[in-house]
Amino acid sequence: MDLASYLADEKLSQTIRLFLNLAISIAGSIILYKIMPKFKDVFMRADLKGTDLSKKEKVQIPEAYGVICGAFFLIITFIFIPLRFYETLAFNKELSHHQFIEYLAALLSIACMIFLGFADDVLDLKWRDKLLLPTVASLPLLMVYFANINSTTIIVPYPLRPWLGYALNLGFLYYIYMGMLAVFCTNAINIYAGVNGIEAGQSLVIACSVLISNIIEFNGPFRDNHIFSMYLIIPFIACSFPLFIYNKYPSRVFVGDTFCYFAGMTFAVVGILGHFSKFLLLFFIPQIFNFLLSVPQLFKFIPCPRHRMPKYNPVTDLLEPSVVQFYDKDLSKLSKLIFKLFRMLKFIKVTEKIDEKNKKLVCYESSNFTIINFYLTIVGPTREGILTKQLLILQVVCCFIAFMIRYQLSKLFY
Ligand code: UD1
Ligand code: MG
């Protein structure tokens, strides 16, 4: 067979594989949608439940539903393994070990993260462990990257080339960056939470953006990477969509940390093994902003309450920024500086509690340092369902901006 017809064949079989992937994903999605309500009692009996804090009646609904979603993702992707290599099974065509190992390592890391997320939901792990777990779970991935790809060279943007040259080999630092990417993606989704539907919703928007970028790059030079990403992101969308339907306002289930970790790890995996981790991060603009806003509370410069989600006002049925109170004397010099800066930039709304008698400052009451509270300080008290919708529209707009940066602005830099 000449090369041209072989290539045509390869394209055809890639298309067939994608269709097989799509078909089992859709089938899985429908079954998942149907069986999800059946698990409600099982979860409640196992004490996997949480109170919806932003409702008049404080009802309890099942929590950690992400674990069903994760299980279905694994079922779909496992069934896909023999389908992915159907030519090897059917026609004795040589197996691509390279691709096989990448796919298995990807699934191993994601499966680990689902397990660790579920452990977190059941055992309520400490913040420190939450940082450590994704690092460990990403090790198989990094090892495969090391064995198969091991490209740690990045192209330097135009303005920096006089100093750094055209390309820069980051070596070991690149592995640290990739490990941190996994930690970031998982936690960033988990802390951008607290209103019905936002966890599953943001993940769906990001996943769809990844899929769109894969389709755009489909005929480009890195076709294989993008097809690899599609093999994982299509089943992910298929499993998250039914979950979103049950999780959106008014929530019938909570996704739990299981889902947040599962989603974050899936993104990290496709970003790393698909070689578009920097582009991937552009889809995380709201999450990056939320993370930067959260830094003072995450690293304990400012006290961080257990929940930072918006406060529900039962009289008006609206959500308001939640607050944290602290004394001026309890802040270190650095904390005071950070507090001043955030206050000046209007990221937080602060009221000063003054003692009526001696007119002295008693304590500060500041809105919590999250993007949702920041948003609420701008637009004012909002109904929960509307707030989720607006935040998801913001996510879509940010992803659109990401595409503009990638395909227009980056021409100036590369
Ligand atoms: C993260 C956030 C926390 C936020 C919480 C809510 C940080 C450091 N942590 O904590 O500030 O309050 O998520 O998701 O930023 N819940 C609702 N409505 C929702 C979603 C959740 O009432 O739409 C409540 C339920 O009681 C549920 C609980 O939040 O049981 C789940 O919180 P959990 O995921 O355990 O909180 P963390 O991820 O630790
Ligand atoms: Mg959570």
Closest CA to 323 of 287, 284, 374: 374
pLDDT of residue 360: 83
pLDDT of residue 5: 59
- Residue 368 burial (CB count, 10 A): 25
Minimal-distance CA residue to ligand 1 atom 21: 194
H helix intervals, 85-197:
86-91, 97-123, 127-137, 139-144, 161-164, 172-191
Place of tokens 């790890």: 265
Distance between CA 261 and CA 295 in Å, rounded? 19
Q: What is the DSSP string of 276-314?
A: -HHHHHHTTHHHHHHHHHHHHHHTTSS---S--SPEEET
H helix intervals, 220-298:
223-247, 256-273, 277-282, 285-298
User: Which residues' Cβ are closer than 6 Å to ligand 1?
Assistant: 50-54, 63, 190-191, 193-196, 251, 254, 257, 307-309
pLDDT of residue 115: 95
Distance between CA 241 and CA 30 in Å, rounded? 10
- Residue 79 burial (CB count, 10 A): 17
- Please give the number of the atom of ligand 1 that sits closest to the Cα of 54: 22
Q: Are the C-beta atoms of residues 117 and 182 closer than 8 Å to each other?
A: no
H helix intervals, 36-65:
40-45
- Please give the number of the atom of ligand 1 that sits closest to the Cα of 257: 34
Distance between CA 290 and CA 282 in Å, rounded? 14
pLDDT of residue 4: 52
pLDDT of residue 13: 85
Beta bridge mates, 329: none
Q: Which of 307, 308, 389 best tests ligand 1's pocket when mutated (most atoms within 8 Å of CB)?
A: 307
Place of tokens 């299980």: 71
Distance between CA 353 and CA 367 in Å, rounded? 14
pLDDT of residue 413: 75
Q: Which two tokens stand for residue 33?
A: 């949608």
Distance between CA 304 and CA 364 in Å, rounded? 14
Span from the CA of 201 to the centroid of ligand 2 (angstroms): 14
Burial class (CB in 10 A: 0-12, 13-18, 19+), 160: exposed
pLDDT of residue 276: 92
User: Where on the phi/psi map is residue 237: left (φ > 0), alpha (ψ -120 to 50), or beta?
Assistant: alpha
Span from the CA of 308 to the centroid of ligand 1 (angstroms): 8
Q: What angle do CA 302, 306, 312 make, to 5 degrees?
A: 105
Distance between CA 310 and CA 193 in Å, rounded? 10
DSSP, collapsed to helix, strand or coil, labels residue 42 as helix
- Please give the number of the atom of ligand 1 that sits closest to the Cα of 294: 15
DSSP, collapsed to helix, strand or coil, labels residue 124 as coil
- Residue 125 burial (CB count, 10 A): 16
pLDDT of residue 91: 79
pLDDT of residue 2: 54
pLDDT of residue 159: 81
- Please give the number of the atom of ligand 1 that sits closest to the Cα of 384: 23
Residue 406 has what DSSP assignment? I
Span from the CA of 405 to the centroid of ligand 2 (angstroms): 30
- Please give the number of the atom of ligand 1 that sits closest to the Cα of 307: 12
DSSP, collapsed to helix, strand or coil, labels residue 27 as helix
Per-position pLDDT tens, the chain of length 414: 554 555 457 788 888 999 999 999 999 999 999 999 999 999 999 999 999 999 999 899 999 999 999 999 999 999 999 998 888 887 777 778 888 999 999 999 999 999 999 999 999 888 778 878 888 889 999 999 998 887 888 888 778 888 888 888 888 899 999 999 999 999 999 999 999 999 999 999 999 999 999 999 998 888 999 999 999 999 999 999 999 999 999 999 999 999 999 999 999 999 999 999 999 999 999 999 999 999 999 999 999 999 999 999 999 999 999 999 999 888 999 999 999 999 999 999 999 988 888 888 889 999 999 999 999 999 999 999 999 999 999 999 999 999 999 988 877 777
Q: Which are the contacts of 271, defined by CB distance < 8 A and separation ≥ 6?
A: 181, 185, 277, 279, 280, 281
- Residue 81 burial (CB count, 10 A): 13
Q: Is the peptide bond before 159 cis (omega within 30 degrees of 0)?
A: no
**Which helix (H) or strand (E) segment is 45 a member of?**
helix 40-45
Residue 369 has what DSSP assignment? S
Minimal-distance CA residue to ligand 1 atom 1: 191
Span from the CA of 263 to the centroid of ligand 2 (angstroms): 12
Burial class (CB in 10 A: 0-12, 13-18, 19+), 42: exposed
- Directed axis angle between helix 172-191 and helix 127-137, to 10°? 130
